[in-house]
Structure 1
Amino acid sequence: MSITGTKIRELIVTPIAFRDPPLLNSNGVHEPLALRCVLQLVLDNGTVGLGESPGGSARLDRLEAAAEVVVGMDVFDTTAVMAAIDAALLATVPSSHERGWTSSAVEVACLDAQGKLLDRPVSDLLGGRVRDAVPFAAYLFYKWAEHPALDGRAAVGDDWGAALDPAGIVEQARLMQERYGFRSFKLKGGVFPPDEEIAAIRALAEAFPGEPLRLDPNTAWTVETSRYVARELDSVLEYLEDPTRSIAGMAEVAKESPLPLATNMCVIAWEHLRPAVEQDAVQVLLTDHHYWGGLRRTRELAAVCEAFGIALSMHSNSHLGISLAAMTHVASALPRLDHSCDTHYPWNVADDVIRPGVLELRDGEVKVPTGPGLGVELDHEALARLHQLYLESGMRDRDDTGYMRRIDPEYELRLPRW
């Protein structure tokens, strides 16, 4: 079969903003808007491949630099495409992790276009799916009932309500299960003193007996506090995520922790794998194709983890449907997926840029799209509306700490805090 028109004619990068609730974390609180970039990779024959990336001015600049170098390249030559992007960014972006954010978004768009040309889903391009649906965990947050009034703007609430104590977290989990059928739960911690978050986890364990639980304080704790929490929640959590900073710090915790430790913060690039394995710092790696250079590199990472006996789950950031589709395809093609994946999607689904009907969180799972490519279709009206919101907002970078200080001028960012 001969396929024509496979040269990349244009890469269109569209920055967008969408609503985000006041979700608390160890750095502060989410702002009223989150930022992403949507990619449209246009081929000579008119085929369009979709990609999605976290936003922010630096990442937008890098995507626009990538758009210049990929024109004229063959969409099936993804190795050369990724190498050209890496070379274009190397002088100004020394971190392979940061360069990976750019190349991964373009690789997803290439794979989406390839799948459309071949009339095959992306999961087939990754070796074929081994599961027809991918399990996800409810992502619980301490949160305010509303974004407070600032700069003449009225307070902005949502239908999730406040969650500032164990009862509020349990109620949020009940809503998540009622709406999406989740069968496992993750709490974003690092917000309140550890004993309060231990109480919230124990309340979840009582309310949802037998359901897997995990806690992620985003490095808010010292080594000693991390060990204390691990002892207190032994047999309650399936794993403890990023309790303290650095590979060395995690290794110190792991020496005495009765719980497996997971990370998406200290092992985020290929050069981190060897020291992490040598020090036995983590027992669960939270993969993320945005971090690691794309879907194919994520599958390679899974093989490395299997070789070293490291379990797998999947990290999430504030994403929309293109990223969720990509996550679902690659997760479906991983022979081992030891824990349900993270997803922010319930917090942001109302502002999605894809047409509804393909991606649905039901019974705590997302069925793998079977249409060509990612199997999702861009909603151009929604994209235009969210791009206009981006332009009008004036927001160009995420700043959880700065936003918290506007609300509480006494707030001090300290990691570790406890």
Structure 2
Amino acid sequence: MDAHTRKRATGRRAIAEVRFTPVLVADPPLLNVQGVHQPYTPRLIVEVVTEDGVSGLGETYGDSAYRELAGPYAALLTGHDIADLNGLFTLMNTVEVDGSRVDDSVDVGGLRGARTADKLRLSVVSAFEVACLDALGKTLGVPVHTLLGGKVRDSVEYSAYLFYRWAEHPGGAGEKDDWGAALDPAGIVAQARRFAREHGFASFKLKGGVLPPEQEVAAVRALAAAFPGRPLRLDPNGAWSTATSLRVAASLADVLEYLEDPASGTRAMAEVAAGTSVPLATNMCVTTFGEIREAFLTGAVQVVLSDHHYWGGLRNTRELAAVCRAFGVGLSMHSNTHLGISLAAMTHVAATVPDLRHSCDSHYPWQSEDVITARHVFRDGRLPVSDAPGLGVELDRAALERLHRRWLADDGTLRERDDAAAMRRAPGHARWRTPALPRW
């Protein structure tokens, strides 16, 4: 079928217009193994509009590598049927940037793991796939979870995401909040109590790799004392050697639900897994289908934290869930600094996965800004699964314009996510460099 015939056959489901808008979103001074990121984070908001005027929304990372790929890709989508989701991947394989197809010379993506060219493509396609599903759901009058096969739960459980943090960014940059600093066990417990009080979270994950392991063990112990019997996780982002990982696992074996990426790389994770009964989770060494074989056959991970951006969308996330189920590997979901569009998409796909035995991660309670008209509200640590057509969210165009103007006004220093940038601006840290791993 030629393009003209296809366009005529698909009728009002054909894409008439594609918009993508880069924004800068306020991000508080949350510490990680690499340091502290900038006070604003780039995101890319995608809209596809059908010939019938139905608009679908998507969202992904907003760094230049993603924007530069999204531009020529979007140009290919005019006339594309929003129901032709497989065709989105076929089109991406034809995309050329600066006269040549995207190659594999892509640098690492910090806490996102290795940012290969393939994962870059998938992260861009994911936003357009979600937008097409949103538009298709609105066109057919059904929610996205119906298009994915139907929900198996009416709400999705999320976990409190705890961070060591400063009271503010260096020099008072960025937006202010009332959280204050959290740099010791008491600060982490106070943070957890507020999350539990305001959002009802019943499980807690601490971002580690920031302080010496003994101090992070003390923080987890303090959480266990404050919330007896509650699921606890610790994620140092590959900061530890295998020996340190095994030592920490032994000291926390009675309280951890799982230990996430204690060591860096599949081989190191397999060595740790062989020496502990604590389940190991990852969102770093298994982020593509090609990485599954080694990790699963060596027993390196017992829980995969999926991310529909990394994996290429919601349908690929369901395929990942099926593979995990076949190998007896648990599944949960990873979070980076996402807005309400991505959280809605994440909730829809999570609602369709049968064996979601672990609560999902979300940065969302840390985010003070959004581009949707009504913020998501956690109740008892859960989000309801919308039954409205599409994703069930609407774009706040005034908010989108405001955050886009911030992006336009930036001189370029904030348009690339840098997880160490703010650390270099802190007093006494001008020569800060991202630590080599393992750090301890």
With normalisation by structure 1, the TM-score equals 0.96
AA matched with 2:29: P
Aligned to 1:31: 38
More off after superposition, 400-409 vs 369-378: 400-409
Q: Distance in 2 between matches of 1:25 and 1:405?
A: 13
Q: Distance in 2 between matches of 1:155 and 1:77?
A: 41
Q: Distance in 1 between matches of 2:25 and 2:320?
A: 31
Aligned to 2:72: 65
1:40 corresponds, among 29, 40, 47, to 47
Matched, 1:141 2:163: yes
2:132 corresponds, among 97, 101, 110, to 110
CA shift for structure 1 position 278: 1.5
Aligned to 1:392: 409
1:187 match: secondary structure? strand
Q: Distance in 2 between matches of 1:169 and 1:178?
A: 14
AA matched with 2:102: T
Counterparts of 1:11-410 in structure 2 under 5 Å? 11-88=18-95, 91-94=101-104, 95-149=117-171, 157-348=176-367, 350-356=368-374, 359-394=376-411, 395-407=414-426, 408-410=429-431
User: Aligned-pair RMSD on alpha carbons?
Assistant: 1.4
What is the number of equivalent residue pairs in this alignment? 412
Is the CA contact (8 Å cut-off) linking 1:93 and 1:99 kept in structure 2? no
Is the CA contact (8 Å cut-off) linking 2:48 and 2:55 kept in structure 1? yes
CA shift for structure 1 position 196: 0.1
2:125 match: secondary structure? helix
Q: Distance in 1 between matches of 2:415 and 2:170?
A: 20
1:172 match: secondary structure? helix
1:173 match: secondary structure? helix
Is the CA contact (8 Å cut-off) linking 1:139 and 1:188 kept in structure 2? yes
Q: Distance in 1 between matches of 2:68 and 2:316?
A: 23
CA shift for structure 1 position 254: 0.7
% identical equivalent positions = 54
Is the CA contact (8 Å cut-off) linking 2:169 and 2:422 kept in structure 1? no
1:143 match: secondary structure? coil
1:238 match: secondary structure? strand
CA shift for structure 1 position 184: 0.3
CA shift for structure 1 position 91: 2.5
- The answer for unaligned runs of 5 or more in structure 2 is 1-8, 105-116
2:11 match: secondary structure? coil
AA matched with 2:131: A
CA shift for structure 1 position 63: 1.2
Is the CA contact (8 Å cut-off) linking 1:8 and 1:70 kept in structure 2? yes
Q: Distance in 2 between matches of 1:228 and 1:49?
A: 48
2:13 match: secondary structure? coil
More off after superposition, 395-404 vs 235-244: 395-404
Q: Distance in 1 between matches of 2:200 and 2:410?
A: 35
User: For residues 296-323 of structure 1, what are the alpha-carbon distances to aligned partners after superposition, in whole Å with 9 as ceiling and x for unaligned?
Assistant: 1100110000000000110000000000
Q: Distance in 2 between matches of 1:250 and 1:86?
A: 33
Q: Distance in 2 between matches of 1:72 and 1:3?
A: 9
Is the CA contact (8 Å cut-off) linking 1:148 and 1:155 kept in structure 2? no
Aligned to 2:434: 413
CA shift for structure 1 position 30: 2.3
With normalisation by structure 2, the TM-score equals 0.91
CA shift for structure 1 position 93: 3.9
2:94 match: secondary structure? helix
User: For residues 72-110 of structure 1, what are the alpha-carbon distances to aligned partners after superposition, in whole Å with 9 as ceiling and x for unaligned?
Assistant: 111111111221113326931433222110111110001
Q: Distance in 2 between matches of 1:66 and 1:134?
A: 33
